[in-house]
A and B are shown apart, each in its own frame.
Chain A
Amino acid sequence: MLDISPKDTLPKAGGVGYKPQHFNELMNAPGSVTWLEIHAENYMGAGGRPLAQLRHLAEKFPISVHGVGLSIGGETRLDPEHLSRLKTLIDWLNPAMFSEHLAWSTHDAQFLNDLLPLPYTNDTLTRVTAHINEVQDHLGRKMLLENPSSYLAFAQSTWSEPDFLRELARRTGCGLLLDVNNVFVSATNLHFDPRAYINAYPLDLVEEFHLAGHDEDTDELGRKLLIDSHGKPVDEPVWALFDHVIANGGARPALVEWDNDVPDFNVLEAETARAARHMQGVVA
């Protein structure tokens, strides 16, 4: 296990999703970046540069491990091999946080490399509860669950998303990761009020925020359909929604995600600085 004892919690300040092209800047001049998030699956190789870089970064920054492959919403059992790889990484790194998604990605041993949506029903609730319990038991630590971005709804759903997340957290003791961009994307796509969603959402259970950019497309009827692309700056209405979140629930560790068309470090760092400023109540 690495010695990260002085940095065992994420600060309530700005962090970034780690991209290898930013390694040198992060090690030498990280600016407003105070913590990092890594995608667990990129660090499940046996060795090599990714793990070597992570070892250096973990000596300098608190790290949050964000899984994209557990398929917690999957109809089939969790992949024991993947769970065991995750445990190996987490036991070695001893990160400040671990989070995953309210989504599925694996079926019949096929991994689809996307976060796929779930109907909010009692059956789903029972299944996801069991999977979260299994993950937390296996890892020996609490996890955070992230709200998805949605492009469609399920006719069979009987729960609202905030109530569904609150009930999952109540049953499992997991915390929540509130992705503010996802709320805005889903609200636009499914025609609900994002502020009403936040007002119904259990902000007291949130231990981390995500912020990201989105793309714009159109739906069947030519109306706006937002795509959670992580390839642009955070959109202005998302910053406004972020302010609403902070006003109601206070500051948390806030991450800026930028996974496609990754910009130079200074662009990303400016987004992180802005997230921190918003949390200080000083709007740029």
Chain B
Amino acid sequence: MTLDLTTSAQDMTVSQSRFRNALLDPETPAPDGLVTPEGTHAEKRFGVYRNNVSHSLASALVDGFPVLTKLLGEAFFRQMALVYLRIHPPASQLIMHYGAAMPTFLVGFPGTVHLKYLPDVARLELALRRAYHAGDAEAIAPADLTQLDQATLMDTRLVLAPAVETLTSEFPALSIWEFNMQDGPTPTMQAETILISRRGYDPVAQRLPLGGAVFVNALKKGHAFGTALGLATSQVADFDLTATLSALIAGHGIIKIEKG
């Protein structure tokens, strides 16, 4: 066995990919070339950066998913977050949106795979965050809509606020959210269609009737009112248009009426 006792300058060069790999993988030792004041290997000191990265990202996920954190308990959630952040480190500097892969991650994570409703709760929390940061827009006055006669209404395009999204869940995702965040009633097992929007600066989530998501998404795509209504009733014969419009208006979701 021969030992190479020469240390070239090259050996001491710490590339950022080596630094990054060791940061995210606790099994990988700190790169050579990172040293203490005496010039010895700085393994424990490197741990400060490891800890800063994992703590700050796990905390961003705790802040971003308050209901998931409550459902799973913060200690468990933080352990899970450490696994998540190694697989899905942020792809953007906008930490406000960090965690977009959480719904699919939860499906495959051994500790949560049996909790089938969790991915939709995560989707709802992500949508509420997007709504919080969505572009500003002023809602129409309800009378602007109600004064239109039916023929005009059918040809009209309703422009929706940037914050408007829908979520169709096989689970009572909104009831679970309300139970945990607003002392809502105990959720019962049922599918829920959810409208996410923003009133002023506050995101709001409301229940939509069956077919409501089809209607709202058709409006979002720019279809005329009549076309959207046709799409919704073709899927749900007794589609409740009044309840859907009430939710859109209450959620400040309509920002412009464009006559056809």
Which A residues contact B (CB, under 8 angstroms)?
41-42, 44-52, 68-69, 74-75, 79, 82, 104-114, 116-117, 119, 151-156, 189-191, 217, 219-221, 225, 227
Contact = CB atoms under 8 A, between A and B. Distances in A.
Given A119-B14, A155-B12, A220 B48 contact: no
B90 to A, nearest CB: 4
A74 B19 CA distance: 12
A156 B13 contact: yes
7 smallest beta-carbon distances between A and B, as pairs:
A45-B133, A69-B93, A47-B136, A49-B201, A152-B42, A46-B135, A152-B45
Given A46-B133, A155-B39, 20 more contacts: A42-B96, A45-B132, A46-B135, A48-B132, A48-B198, A49-B132, A51-B136, A79-B93, A108-B17, A111-B93, A112-B90, A113-B60, A113-B95, A114-B53, A116-B16, A119-B33, A154-B35, A155-B33, A155-B34, A220-B44
Nearest to A111: B90
A237 to B, nearest CB: 18
A239 B170 CA distance: 58
B23 interface: yes
B203 to A, nearest CB: 9
B93 A48 contact: no
Given A47-B162, A153-B37, A155-B35, A116 B45 contact: no
Nearest to B88: A110
B77 interface: no
B29 to A, nearest CB: 13
Among B9, B40, B92, max chain A CB count under 10 A is at: B92
Contacts of B52: 114
Contacts, number: 135
21 contacts: A41-B96, A44-B93, A45-B133, A45-B134, A47-B133, A48-B133, A52-B201, A68-B93, A106-B93, A111-B95, A113-B95, A117-B49, A119-B33, A152-B34, A153-B35, A155-B33, A155-B35, A156-B9, A156-B33, A189-B37, A220-B44
Contact of A227 (B48, B53, B92, B96): B48
Interface of B: 9, 12-17, 19-20, 23, 33-37, 39-40, 42-46, 48-49, 52-53, 56-57, 60, 89-96, 132-137, 162, 198, 201
Among A45, A106, A113, max chain B CB count under 10 A is at: A113
A152 B20 contact: no
Contact of B14 (A106, A154, A227): A154
A113 B48 contact: no
Contact of B53 (A108, A113, A152, A191): A113
Among B15, B57, B89, max chain A CB count under 10 A is at: B89
Nearest to B7: A155
